Amino acid sequence: MRPLAALCAACIWFACSHAAVAQPDTSKWVGAVPKSEVAGLGSSPAVTTIATSGTAKTLVFPTTGSVAYDVTLTANCTFTIDASAATAGQRQTIYLLVRNPSGSFTTTLPGSVKWSNAAAPTIATTAGTVIEIALTTMDGGTTVVAR
């Protein structure tokens, strides 16, 4: 008997004898992110570590591929986005990891960011909170979508 994940919908409901449905090639993914989205086609993007956030930080889109920021909050922090190096017609992503070790600090992103679920999430301010946000543009920074 084949595992359910390998059956088509009709097989599951009607016990028919269709061939197994092709399974996705997970070797092309890093977690929930396609490897092609990560700089170097399969390698991780370079990480810029910011141990002291201060009250304002600028996130810079790379000229190609992706970049990652690992930021530790030391105050309420407002992030801005510099897309001057972004190239229209190419997918560029900023991966932002925000650590809130002592809690109570807020994270603010530009109001122009479009959230994939249509509304900005509430970012927890509890001590020890770690959040990850991906900011992507494909039009040179005119539109930035977050997830």
Residues 95-135 pLDDT 10s: 999 999 998 899 999 999 999 888 888 888 999 999 999 99
Q: Where are the alpha helices (DSSP H) in the chain?
A: 9-14
The neighbour count for residue 74, using CB atoms within 10 Å, is: 16
Output the pTM of the full model: 0.70
pLDDT in tens, 54-73: 999 999 999 889 999 999 99
Q: Determine the Cα–Cα distance for residues 12 and 30; give it in Å rounded to an integer.
A: 29
Domain boundaries, the chain: 25-146
